[in-house]
Amino acid sequence: MLGRRQIREKVLQGIYAYNISKSPLDFVEKRMFQSLYEIYDLYVYELNLLLAIRDYATDMLERRKQKRYATEDEKNPNTKFVNNVVFKMIEENPLRKEYSEKHSDLLWGQNDNYPAIIFKKFQTSLNYMSYLQNQNSSFEEDSKLIQKLFVKYIAEDTTLYEWVEELKLQWADDFHIANNMTLKTLKSLWIDKPFDSLIQVFKNDEDRDFARDLFETTISHYPEFMRIIQGRSHNWELDRIAELDKIILSMGFCEFNYFPQIPTKVVINECIELAKAYSTPNSHVFINGILDKYAKDMGRI
């Protein structure tokens, strides 16, 4: 599920899109939520990639068995990897199956190269080879191997990152979030525990409402927040301040004024992190200074 920081990132992107495009508010808000929910698509796409890697490995073993002059090892292959119980648990998850049936674009086809590319790299690793050589089997061993496969050969794969970016541009920003969701899912699996759920984008209705309210309230009070920035950014005209800095500051003012339950330090720290991730190198210093002084003047510190 998304943390509040990831939600704030999407709100920042939504407000920026609204300010730049001048599209109707409801249209931009709908696109923002669509972008949020598409993180779940990427998460399911990654789970399906693990199954596609298993399927490629299975097909490869079958092709070798059918060779005219197959060796004894090829005729009687080691199937420990393709029979890994984690694959079966993912395959049988009812939510993954139902969602993938409704969204067939999240399935990997036979002509997709990445399952083959990833498996060919993985099968030369010490982790894979030692796993096959170990005649004893355990769920712990199965689980650790799939986690290593995912972390090193999927989550850290730059070419795969570029691939998902080509599929959907916003997935480039969401790749690390989906990776965390997939890894958390893999770590949660246990042999005696039913695997009949998946991680959802929002933890609860409160988080979804937070995204909507922060987006709408920041935009509705944007002119007011611009006046606050102008009055506190001495020797700086508004048009000299980076657009993203103005949005981040506005979101901070909005949380101070309309989300009193959120601690002041949390608001300031989250705005600083947004500035580090999205704005200019020195923006976080500028934003920290203005928000800190504003919070003190408001009696929030």
* pLDDT in the model for residue 235: 67
Most confident of 68-77, 86-95, 237-246: 86-95
Res. 79: pLDDT tops 80: yes
Report pLDDT digits (tens) over 158-193: 988 898 888 888 888 899 999 999 999 999 999 889
- Cβ burial, residue 15 (10 Å; 0-12/13-18/19+): buried
Report pLDDT digits (tens) over 30-68: 999 999 999 999 999 999 999 999 999 999 999 888 888
Structure-token pair, residue 152: 């090193």
Most confident of 61-75, 115-129, 238-252: 115-129
Taken in order 174, 180, 186, 192, the sign of the CA dihedral is negative
DSSP 186-242: HHH--TTS-------SSSSHHHHHHHHHHHHHHHHTHHHHHHHHHHHSTT--GGGS-
Residues above pLDDT 70, as percent of the chain: 98
* pLDDT in the model for residue 16: 96
Structure-token pair, residue 210: 């937070």
* pLDDT in the model for residue 66: 83
Question: What is the three-class DSSP state of 208?
Answer: helix
Q: CA separation (Å) from 134 to 72, 80, 90, 129, 146?
A: 19, 10, 23, 9, 15
Cα–Cα dist 47/178, whole Å: 10
Span 221-297 CATH architecture: Orthogonal Bundle (1.10)
Q: CA separation (Å) from 262 to 270, 272, 274?
A: 11, 16, 17
Report CA 139 to chain centroid distance, whole Å.
Answer: 27
Cα–Cα dist 222/87, whole Å: 49
Model confidence band, residue 246 (pLDDT cutoffs 50, 70, 90): very high
Structure-token pair, residue 41: 């698509």
* pLDDT in the model for residue 111: 66
The residues spanned by each domain of the chain are: 31-188, 221-297
Residue from 54, 3, 28 nearest 210 by CA? 3
Range 210-229 average pLDDT: 96
Model confidence band, residue 232 (pLDDT cutoffs 50, 70, 90): confident
* pLDDT in the model for residue 2: 85
